[in-house]
Chains A and B, each alone.
Chain A
Amino acid sequence: MIELLTETAIQEPQRIRGLEMPWNRVMGSTEGAAGAARALGPWHPQEFMAECVETVPEAGGMMTFVFRRCDGAPLAFRAGQYVNVAFPLNGEDQDPVDRSYSLSSSPTQPWTFNITVKSDPAGLVSPWVHENVKPGTVLEMLGPVGAFHLPDADRRARYLLLAAGAGITPIMSMLRTIHSLPGQADVVVLYHGAEVGGFAFHQELAYVASVDSRIKVFYSLGDRSVPEGWEGLTGRLTAAMLDEVAPDANGRQVYACGPEGYLNTATELLRKVGVDDTSIYMEFFSGDRQTILEYQAELAFAVDIAEEIAEEIADSAEDYYESQPTAFGLYEPGYDAEGTLKATGLPLETADEDAPASEAPEGNPTVATEAGSPDASSFDTVGTGSLTLSFMRTGINVRIDPDEHILGVAQRAGVRIGANCKEGMCGSCKVVKLSGEVEMNHQGGIRAREISAGKFLPCCSTARTDLVIDA
């Protein structure tokens, strides 16, 4: 039956280049961004309450808990990050026990979010979670946290995702995210498990790999006994296995998550097959002491930030947004600080981007008294007219009318501006406008980017407002 349905060959989808997270463009542009998109911007951790709405048993002794925030807001995060959850193990009136769990759902479906917990019989918390967290349970959370996540934009988007055991949870979030987004990507997943029935999400993985030609999934059973009929790989991670599943690993970004021993081996092997250290991102799951300390430090910082945010929101919502880029710099991954945003053609702007334009020219003692407006009030003023044209270098104010060409005014006032065609063609009179608006009718003598950099041609311009120019 299936064969009959698929008899006709279907062509590959046409895709835009690379991957881009849905919030990326909005976050990259300046003020005035849509509020909802801002809310989705996974810039910073927050403290919030969340209600469990579903529990889904998974293979491998794992359980997925689906939550929604009690305040109704979406949870903004990056695929691969985790949340810290306070579990009231000893009842509501005792101190809760905190644990960090990776989010396994995709941030492109932000109205609910999942964590997936493997029950460790010897553990204190995970058996309690499996036993006690049910639909209706409300828990206190802090997040998202963590630098292990997909970039906001990646025009190459070639990934090798390595997971061992419960290490699949953040990888699952990445995979679901990529699957939900349009764009060119090339993803290889290599998933190590201890036993045939122990691969969580295997049905979904098989489905995604079957409908999304960008994604390939490989399973390996490690060094355990291999039952008959097993069609996956066998054995622990080796260079040969990496080469088999991803012969082009060398050109991929590698995200790996699993137990410490597995990740240490992976680091070594990846180097061996030529992957650059800076292309390897790892999340230590059953962390050693060092990792745990790092987590604690990160969480402690997140708590501070979350508190700060709460206070600032109370003070002023606007100030809070403006303060974000510096305040939350820690949570911006190094590789998207400039690079990937630039790659999308978006300017990275900061709140004070326009500051240089309002600086007074050098050598002029009568400089700005207020931020942003040079003070020309001490200059001599000549002429009559409804508007004031201030020449900062020359140090003179001229009263002009809105229909006067500025070049002519300058020449009459003895201000030296080189000019030739006087028709907006040659560009030789180009000067910098420090403030005010002009009406310019040029004929190719100036480029749009020069105009946006504040320049104009006085020979073909008239003033709309008071003007301050660098001449």
Chain B
Amino acid sequence: MSAPVLPLNSRGKLASSLPAEQLAEIKELFDFRRVGYSLDAPFYTDPTIFNIDMQAIFGQHWIFAGSIAELPEPGDYITVDYGPYSLIVLRNDDGGVNVLHNVCRHRGARVLTEPAGSTGNLVCGYHSWTYSPEGNLIHASAPGETKFDKGCFGLKRAHSRVVAGLIFVCIANEPPADFDETAKIFEPYLAPHDLSKTKIAYQQNIVEEGNWKLVMENNRECYHCDGHPELACSLFPTWGLTEGLIPAHLEEVWDRNKQAQSSLEERCRRYGLPYEVVEELDTRVAGIRISRESLDGEGESFSPDGRRLSKKLLGDLRDFRLGRCSMHLQPNSWFHFQGDHVITFAVFPVNEHQTLVRTTWLVADDAEEGVDYDLEKLTYTWKQTNLQDKAFVELCQTGAGSPAYEPGPYMKSEYQVEAFINWYVQRVQEHLA
């Protein structure tokens, strides 16, 4: 067997020179994972597998970084970290987005240290190497240097796509090609909400003490939704179930759900809004699930009675009763688009046992806090839900660390969890092949 080479062109990377034996062992873990069951413990606890995740998933695929509402004006930027990677996502003067590695080409310092801000040129705080927003090195004081060529030391760039106001980045030299097809699927669902005319009402960052895959797994099922009393006011707890799987205590809710769904679909047809379920979570590289689904109560938003939480309609939408247009994207994001506000969720792995979950509430950019929306009410349901989810994820992480842990079966209503894991395993196997 030849020495394993992980496809990263950077020299001297420790993970790229794993001993052959260790790599074979890891490959085996992927090859022999039991379909329909949760993963073996090392997937959640082993730093080597975390490094492989960073290379094979976050280093290769299109990942969600944020929305253009987070960079309203030229010069605005956010920095996002995926494990060892740090990227600068910056709105340029042409209204486009530049994505640059946040690693100074002098001695590797972080160039921008704030999570968000606004800048003209980019100045490294260490020796003041100064880069243009395009990443070109435009100033480096060089006393006595004669052969210093600034042209050789620009910030490394990454790929980016802005679709319906969502910013996606890809670190790979050659990004997977099917993202554009996925974008064509979801763009018509999301575009009517017009993110370019929204603003951040609130952004929450929480670090969950759990592996990023546990965070994603938890999001991909509602089997645990009894643990979300606030969310259950508006999100039908029958989510993920189908006719025949409805327990007796949910039959009444199921009927209400069906009725709400059919009147939502009638409304969508009237306004020309797509609502059908498209589900290709593990049947394509840029895995997706999208649909527009009804909400309980008045069917407008994530509030106790289902009423709107912001009084300004988004985009050119005509009606507040549009339920939630929800999207799951592999590997690190999910979204809820309502008539009155949008919530984006981004997952940023920190290490094998910690994950940053960023939740952002967007409202129409002319909505005024205290007049058109009450910030506490707007964010209440998902703030509570996030805390509950954090606790669930942490229970699992603790469990995965126990010698007594062994993989357990996913239930039928957890088919999306299985799809996520299947997608993940396939992508890593392709990468290690």
Residues of A within 8 A of B (CB): 155-156, 158, 184, 186, 247-248, 250-251, 274, 276, 278-279, 334, 338-340, 342-343, 420-421, 423, 425-428, 443-447, 449-450
Contact = CB atoms under 8 A, between A and B. Distances in A.
Given A155-B366, A342-B366, A447-B120, A420 B141 contact: yes
A445 B298 contact: no
Given A339-B372, A449-B73, A425 B318 contact: no
Contacts of B365: 342-343
Contacts of A155: 366
Interface of B: 73-75, 118-121, 123, 128, 130, 132-133, 138-139, 141, 267, 270-271, 298, 300, 307-308, 311-313, 316-321, 339, 365-368, 371-372
Given A186-B318, A421-B130, 12 more contacts: A155-B366, A339-B367, A420-B128, A425-B121, A425-B130, A426-B139, A427-B119, A427-B123, A443-B138, A444-B121, A444-B132, A449-B73
Nearest to A186: B318
5 contacts: A158-B318, A184-B316, A251-B339, A274-B320, A278-B311
A425 B313 contact: no
Nearest to A340: B366
B321 A274 contact: yes
B302 to A, nearest CB: 17
Contacts of B74: 447
Contacts of B75: 447
Nearest to B266: A247
A156 B194 CA distance: 13
B120 A427 contact: yes
Contacts of B123: 420, 426-428
A427 B121 contact: yes
B319 A248 contact: yes
Contacts of A158: 318
Contacts, number: 86
Contacts of B118: 447
Nearest to B123: A426
B113 to A, nearest CB: 14
Nearest to A443: B138
B121 A338 contact: no
A334 B372 CA distance: 11
Given A186-B318, A444-B121, A276 B308 contact: yes
Contacts of B300: 274
- Chain B interface SS verdict (over half): loop
Contacts of B366: 155, 339-340, 342-343
B223 to A, nearest CB: 32
A420 B130 contact: yes
B308 A339 contact: no
Q: Which 8 A-B pairs have the closest CB atoms?
A: A420-B128, A343-B366, A251-B319, A426-B130, A421-B139, A248-B318, A426-B123, A248-B319
A160 B253 CA distance: 34
Contacts of B138: 425, 443-444
Nearest to B197: A155
A444 to B, nearest CB: 5
Given A158-B318, A447-B118, A339 B141 contact: no
Most buried by B among A338, A421, A426: A426
Contacts of A276: 307-308, 311, 320
Given A250-B320, A339-B366, A444 B139 contact: no
A62 to B, nearest CB: 34
B128 A426 contact: yes
A274 B121 contact: no
Contacts of B139: 420-421, 423, 425-426
A453 to B, nearest CB: 11
Contacts of A450: 120
A443 B307 CA distance: 51
B130 A247 contact: no
B313 A156 contact: yes
A339 B197 CA distance: 13
A446 B267 CA distance: 49
A445 B121 contact: yes
A184 B372 CA distance: 22
Contacts of A443: 138
Contacts of B368: 338-339
A449 B339 CA distance: 32
Given A425-B121, A444-B121, A339 B371 contact: yes
Contacts of B316: 156, 184
A251 B315 CA distance: 12
A411 to B, nearest CB: 16
A49 B386 CA distance: 65
A342 B319 CA distance: 23
Contacts of A426: 121, 123, 128, 130, 139
A184 B318 CA distance: 13
B125 to A, nearest CB: 9
A72 to B, nearest CB: 38
A155 B317 CA distance: 12
A421 B318 contact: no
A151 to B, nearest CB: 11
Contacts of A278: 311
Contact of B270 (A247, A423, A444, A447): A247
A431 to B, nearest CB: 15
B319 A250 contact: yes
A447 B91 CA distance: 13
Contacts of A184: 316
